[in-house]
Amino acid sequence: MAGPEYAEVEKPFIDQLVDQGWEFLAGSVDNPGTTHRDSFSQVVMTPWFLHTLRS
């Protein structure tokens, strides 16, 4: 995950969003469950989405 695009574009943007109050959830290239998904083809993190709607 480290490389010029990550270091110069993605990481600064993630930091900016975190500074604005967003929560960053680091993912895994091997385990979709890390980001509350059943598979990598699942776009929406359904359990997290439903939890947020109920809050």
DSSP-derived letter for residue 21 is T
Token pair for residue 35? 């980001």
Residue 48's pLDDT is 86
Q: How many domains does the chain divide into?
A: 1
What tens digit of pLDDT does each residue of 16-39 get? 999 999 999 999 999 999 998 999
Cα–Cα dist 41/33, whole Å: 12
pTM exceeds cut of 0.85: no
Q: Of all helices (H) and strands (E), which one includes residue 53?
A: helix 46-54
Residue with tokens 């809050």: 55
Domain span holding position 21:
4-53
